[in-house]
Chains A and B, each alone.
Chain A
Amino acid sequence: MSWRHLTRHPSLTIGLAMTLVFALTGLASLVWTPYPIGDIAIARRFLAPGGPHWLGTDHLGRDLFSLVMSGTLTSFVIAALAVAIGIGIGVPMGLAAAAWGGPVEWVVLRISDLTFAFPAVIVAILITTLSGPGALNAIVAIGVFNIPVFARVARGGALSIATLDFVAAARLAGLGKAAIALKHLLPNILSLVIVQGTIQLSLGILAEAGLSYIGLGTQPPATSLGLMLRDAQSLFLIHPWLSLVPGLTIVAIVIALNLAGDGLRDALDPRLRREGLSHGAG
């Protein structure tokens, strides 16, 4: 990665820049928001955008811009942790399947099939039934969904590399399967994993929004973009603005991440210009 990469791939530049702006805005909410997000003032509710409240206020008189800042952070953190779960469990599974093959591969593929049968919503339903709603549910639910995705990407990538000469050379040099997987396969599939990670991050943000919207994810007093949409739902027909702001923020973040992902894929490995990598999340 260098500056030349960035200038040659405008979508990567734009996507990364937009993502960075959103991520930093979210992070900034930890130390500063225009108004405290818990600041309820019924007297100034439903204020129009402009004036001291840049994006106006919601049904409790809370500053919408502050809520968006904080909500963006929550959405990012949940999606990122879910990606971390997916990579942390899925990639070793995929690598093991490729390196050992045989029964190991069979088991990994069956586990992968099994987890595919549980869309994030179903996992969230099961966890919520047991322990009530919460942001942790969303992280686990989306994370579980990410595991087979990364397992398949890692296995596919590793299998295509495992046939190359330098891997055979390593085997002849006496390296064990674990060492080969770690030293030779892993570094070579990293770009694949990063690209998929970007895509799963964007899907995770969409999934978090959906889960929080139906009440299975983030709970007050914390806020997330999905939770803002839930709050705005009953007022939607009278005050559509309250839904437009968080909704458009989600759209912008997801577009930014997808642009960055597509750009990364082109920049890191032009051979990967396929759509097969991206699919939806439930």
Chain B
Amino acid sequence: MLRRLIGFAVTLLLAAAVIFLLLDLLPGDPARFILGINASAEAVAALRTQLGLDAPAHERFLGWVWGMLHGDFGVSVTQRAPVAALIAERLAVTLPLTLIAMAISMAVGLPIGILAARRRGKATDTALMVLAQTGVAIPNFWFGMLLTLLFAVTLRWLPPGGFTPWQEDGWAALRGLIMPGLALALPQASILARVMRTALVDVTGQDFIRTARAKGMTLGEAVWRHGVRNAFLPVLTILGLQFAFLIAGTIIVENVFYLPGLGRLIFTAISERDLVLVRGATIVLVLAVTLTMLLVDLAYGLVDPRLRERRA
């Protein structure tokens, strides 16, 4: 447990170092990079002072990390606002979107996987797995475009894009996230269904299921009471990986639906060469991915009592 936490902290610190190295040290002079080649020497010098670039690299790095630990991610030069506030504002779109996508993919993927495993080798199984095979192959952003065509243009049930802030109209905000959520969830649900099926099929062959059957349970009862919980371990691993991919996926899918999330913020920052903002946004994404992996590891213990002792 403690080792895992230390590993998490080390990974995060190294990731911060990589980002810092790439964005702060490689472009030569970040102030010149931000202002462009036509800027005057005075303007560059002024920006250097403003960005604190006159200090040596290791001090700047430590200052950045120390600031982040206190919620200070620096100030965006182009937006003239604290980076932390800018990111927090965008996370109000990206985070709910990721969670909605996750919920949809579990609600669809897991039952399909269980159903396919129960009907193993039959037509239902084959049909569901062909469906899953296709779902994995569909790019989520393209699926989003198809959804727009169906639900926004043909049926007119949902808005084609854009976002109403939560505080203005919570219901409208939620409606705006349904299609992007579906788009993100499709490939993930397909992967989940396949993993769930395989895990359950594996478990069904185990001795403890046979024992439960010998005690008089039907196969269905035995699999439901003992199998699903055991099959959940590989599923949990995939769930963790998926959350990471969903976070990355939102950056792409936000583009289809013109959502003002983290992805759009990053693209603006790139085009305006706002290094401080790009740095802050990427470290937040990396934090989200790493934190998910940590939580999955800790969740293993909750799902599987056998791992609790070994890890203690």
* A interface with B by C-beta (< 8 Å): 110, 113-114, 116-122, 125-126, 128-130, 202, 206, 209-210, 213-215, 229, 233, 236-237, 240, 243, 247, 250-252, 254-255, 258-259, 274-276, 278-282
Interface residue stretch chosen among B35-43, B69-77, B207-215, B248-256: B248-256
Looking at chain A's contact residues, the main secondary structure is helix
24 contacts between A and B (CB under 8 A): A110-B10, A114-B11, A117-B290, A117-B293, A118-B289, A119-B245, A120-B248, A121-B251, A122-B282, A128-B270, A129-B275, A206-B139, A209-B141, A210-B139, A210-B141, A229-B139, A250-B139, A252-B137, A258-B133, A259-B133, A278-B136, A279-B242, A280-B241, A282-B249
Number of interface residues of B (CB under 8 A): 64
Give, as a whole number of angstroms, the nearest-CB distance from A191 to chain B: 19
Contact B245 A251 (CB under 8 A): no
Give, as a whole number of angstroms, the nearest-CB distance from A209 to chain B: 5
Given contacts A113-B11, A125-B282, A129-B23, whether A213 and B255 have CB atoms under 8 Å apart is yes
Contact A117 B139 (CB under 8 A): no
Q: Is B100 an interface residue (CB 8 A)?
A: no
Give, as a whole number of angstroms, the nearest-CB distance from A222 to chain B: 19
Interface residue stretch chosen among B55-63, B172-180, B188-196: B188-196
Which of A117, A120, A202, A209 interacts with B286 by CB under 8 Å?
A117
> What are the residues of chain A within 8 A of B7 when measuring CB–CB?
110, 113
Distance of A215 Cα from B22 Cα, bound (Å): 20
Q: Which residue of A is nearest B274, CB measured?
A: A129
Distance of A259 Cα from B133 Cα, bound (Å): 9
Residues 264-287 of B at the A interface (beta carbon under 8 Å) = 266-267, 269-270, 273, 275, 278, 282, 285-286
Looking at chain B's contact residues, the main secondary structure is helix
Distance of A128 Cα from B282 Cα, bound (Å): 13
> What are the residues of chain B within 8 A of A214 when measuring CB–CB?
251-252, 255, 263, 267
Contact A247 B248 (CB under 8 A): no
User: What 6 A-B pairs come out closest when comparing CB atoms?
Assistant: A282-B248, A254-B137, A119-B248, A275-B198, A247-B142, A121-B248
Q: Which residue of A is nearest B256, CB measured?
A: A233
> What are the residues of chain B within 8 A of A128 when measuring CB–CB?
270
Residues 120-172 of B at the A interface (beta carbon under 8 Å) = 133-134, 136-142, 145-146, 148-149, 153, 160
